[in-house]
């Protein structure tokens, strides 16, 4: 396993005249993408995530989707009254965000494009560095399932660099510009954990020989982080787990599908029926080598029944509808062994460094209470690590630690102050 630098050091200066001359291209970040500073010192990040251009104002904790509205004009979608980003190089001005117009100053953030080798897989990565001096610590960001590109981790890299950390993001195997296979029946928690460890070792060598190198995982990436820290405790100095990491992964999937059923208007009896089907699908006995004949018979009956139900659409089954039962069992067995059956209980005991876990009370993907109990139970069993773990369920927060949308600000995401404040304070308290 190794690393090679494929593109030299770059400086993200948002006020660049070269950026101003760039035309607006579909799926490209805005020409003023980068980090910016409000007059009151607050941090602003402009970029493009996995789905759209965005502007994140950390001072107000609000995140808008950006839409071009004319030369140099971008609307902050969902704002009432309307808010605009006005780009007149080298100046970016926000109107409608605060009482008066905000004229922003560019913030330099150093970035470096890297190529990492993890076994026979090449991972395309970006290293983010504070511009003002050496980083205090360093952290690798690990993805939520199904969101494996670096862009999906926005806007956390800029926020963490602001805290004095070096940050490494990478396209997960089989996504973006990385090689390999992302399908859960081909690679799972353990393989992704190895990828995270490769990135952590690079950070140790390159930028943090005297500081701590941690992993920050989102959703299923939190389980990946726990697995990595257990596989190689000496390489992981701390963990930040967001919306995951405790208990078994299949329980998260079950929770997610039940809530999806509620959103689609399933009745109480239909939800009970769905739960009973999932209990069968997530029964470990179905995937033993010895019980293959019985498993085929059980699955054939359950799948034929499920296809006639309204709740079938909320399960993960429709993409496999045309597969013969024997082939489906083979795929499902691999997914079970690679991802769904992973339970962090034993691995949490082997985690050495400090741990912060943030969970959303209203998370419809990860069961917050169940996950918090599993985390607390596992972390308390660590030898010699009392008081080094904080597990926090944040009131009113969802899977992304955001508050419920306001009626007068539809489409504007507001991250809870508790989440950002807790994360900032916890990172500041990390000892060198």
Tokens of 361: 């009370």
- Written as one string, the DSSP assignment of 277-344 is HHHHHT-GGGG-STTHHHHHHHHHHHHHHHTTSGGGGGSS-GGGTTS-HHHHHHHHHHHIIIIIT-B-
What whole-number percentage of the chain has pLDDT above 90? 77
Taking only the tens place, the pLDDT of each residue in 303-329 is 999 999 999 999 988 888 888 999 999
Strands 137-142 and 213-218 come out as: parallel
Cα angle, residue 312 at apex, residues 281 and 251 outer, rounded to 5°: 40
Please tell me the predicted confidence (pLDDT) of residue 431.
Answer: 67
Place of tokens 């070792």: 201
Taking only the tens place, the pLDDT of each residue in 141-153 is 999 988 879 999 9
Residue 118 bridge partners (DSSP)? 121
Contact (CB, 8 A) for 160 and 187: no
Please tell me the predicted confidence (pLDDT) of residue 8.
Answer: 32
Contact (CB, 8 A) for 421 and 386: no
* Alpha carbon distance 200, 347 (integer Å): 18
Mean pLDDT, the chain, as a whole number? 90
- Written as one string, the DSSP assignment of 100-140 is S-EEEEEE-EEEEEEEEEETTEEEEEEEEEESSS--SEEEE
Please tell me the predicted confidence (pLDDT) of residue 42.
Answer: 96
| Burial of 260 from C-beta contacts in 10 A (0-12 / 13-18 / 19+) | middle
Mean pLDDT over residues 363-390, rounded?
Answer: 90
The answer to whether residue 52 scores a pLDDT higher than 60 is: yes
Taking only the tens place, the pLDDT of each residue in 72-94 is 999 999 988 889 999 999 999 99
Please tell me the predicted confidence (pLDDT) of residue 186.
Answer: 86
Mean pLDDT over residues 149-164, rounded?
Answer: 94
pLDDT band, very low/low/confident/very high, at 416 (cuts 50, 70, 90): very high
Residue 389 bridge partners (DSSP)? 355
* Alpha carbon distance 236, 218 (integer Å): 16
Tokens of 75: 């609307």
- The model carries a pTM of 0.90
Please tell me the predicted confidence (pLDDT) of residue 322.
Answer: 83
pLDDT band, very low/low/confident/very high, at 103 (cuts 50, 70, 90): very high
What whole-number percentage of the chain has pLDDT above 70? 92
Contact (CB, 8 A) for 284 and 249: no
Query: Which residues, other chains included, contact 235 with Cβ-Cβ below 8 Å and sequence gap of 6+?
Result: 197, 200, 201, 204, 213, 228
- Distances, alpha carbon 258 to alpha carbons 76, 318, 366, 426, in Å: 33, 16, 11, 33
Please tell me the predicted confidence (pLDDT) of residue 388.
Answer: 86
pLDDT band, very low/low/confident/very high, at 385 (cuts 50, 70, 90): low
């Amino acid at each position: 396993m190794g690393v090679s630098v494929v593109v030299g050091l770059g400086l993200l200066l948002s006020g660049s005249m070269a950026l101003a001359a760039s035309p607006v291209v579909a799926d490209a970040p805005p020409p003023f993408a980068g980090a910016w500073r409000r007059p009151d010192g607050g941090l602003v990040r402009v970029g493009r995530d996995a789905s759209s251009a965005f502007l994140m104002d950390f001072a107000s904790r609000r995140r808008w989707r950006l839409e071009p509205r004319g030369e140099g004009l971008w609307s902050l979608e969902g704002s009432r009254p309307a808010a605009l980003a006005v780009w007149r190089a080298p100046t970016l001005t926000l109107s409608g965000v605060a009482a008066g117009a905000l004229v922003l100053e560019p913030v330099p953030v150093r970035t470096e494009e890297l190529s990492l080798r993890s076994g026979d897989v090449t991972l395309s990565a970006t290293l983010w560095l504070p511009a003002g001096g050496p980083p205090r610590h360093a952290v690798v960001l690990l993805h939520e399932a199904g969101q494996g590109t670096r862009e999906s981790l926005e806007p956390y890299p800029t926020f963490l660099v602001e805290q004095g950390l070096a940050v490494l993001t990478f396209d997960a195997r089989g996504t973006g510009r990385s090689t390999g296979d992302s399908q859960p029946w081909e690679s799972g928690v353990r393989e992704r954990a190895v990828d995270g460890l490769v990135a952590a070792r690079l950070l140790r060598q390159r930028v943090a020989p005297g500081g701590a190198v941690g992993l920050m995982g989102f959703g299923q990436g939190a389980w990946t982080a726990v697995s990595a820290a257990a596989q190689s405790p000496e390489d992981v100095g701390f963990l930040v787990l967001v919306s995951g990491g405790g208990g078994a992964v299949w329980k998260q999937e079950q929770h997610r599908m039940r809530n999806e059923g509620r959103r689609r208007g399933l009745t109480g009896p239909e939800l009970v029926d769905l739960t009973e089907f999932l209990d069968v699908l997530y029964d470990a006995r179905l995937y033993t080598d010895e019980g293959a004949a019985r498993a085929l018979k059980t699955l054939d009956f359950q799948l034929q029944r499920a296809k006639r139900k309204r709740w079938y659409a909320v399960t993960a089954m429709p993409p496999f509808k045309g597969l013969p039962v024997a082939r489906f069992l083979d795929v499902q067995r691999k997914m079970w062994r690679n991802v769904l059956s992973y339970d962090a209980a034993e691995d949490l005991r082997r985690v050495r460094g400090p741990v912060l876990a943030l969970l959303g009370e209203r998370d419809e993907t990860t069961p917050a209470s169940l996950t918090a109990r599993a985390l607390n139970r596992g972390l308390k069993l660590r030898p010699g690590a009392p008081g080094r773990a904080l597990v926090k369920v944040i009131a009113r927060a969802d899977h992304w630690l955001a508050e419920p949308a306001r009626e007068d600000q539809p489409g504007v995401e507001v991250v809870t102050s508790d989440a950002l404040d807790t994360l900032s304070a916890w990172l500041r308290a990390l000892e060198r």
